[in-house]
Homo-oligomer: A and B are copies of this chain.
Amino acid sequence: VTPKALSPHELEIWHAFKKMGEHVFSRVARDIEEASGLSGSELGVLSRLEDLGKGQLRQQELAVSMGWHKSRLSHQLTRMENRGLLKRSAGKDGGVLVSIAESGTDLLGAARPVHAASVRERLLRRLGPNQAAVILDLFARLSAG
């Protein structure tokens, strides 16, 4: 086979799809960072600790809930532990227990409303009448095997 190159129109769609995400994510991340000093990853971890556990989760559960590989989470937790946002301790079953620290709780409290406002400002309020539905449909189509 000799696959054809992408047409200008195909390239335009691909380009828009790429830039769309980059644009929104970078702005939301910046809003959160400016208001709380937390990165997007840090907010994700702290939110789950508070929402899914009561400030405490097994590392393995945390990994699954984020959809992250263990290695990625391990590196992330190491950085966050160094920043004093959380603590790790030995669980009774051989696993590791991750607990949110006081400064983590404080920053999370500051970041949550900013996150909500930013997602509304950068994405939700800009969606046309049926575009939210299109996004959900698109997500399903693109994620399907």
Contact = CB atoms under 8 A, between A and B. Distances in A.
User: Which of A2, A14, A24 has its CB near the most chain B CB atoms (within 10 A)?
Assistant: A14
A45 B127 CA distance: 33
A113 interface: yes
Q: Interface size bucket, A side?
A: 35 or more
Contact of A16 (B17, B126, B135): B135
A132 to B, nearest CB: 5
A3 B136 contact: no
A90 interface: no
B119 A20 contact: no
Contact of A119 (B10, B24, B132): B10
A112, A132, A141, A142 pick with most chain B CB within 10 angstroms: A142
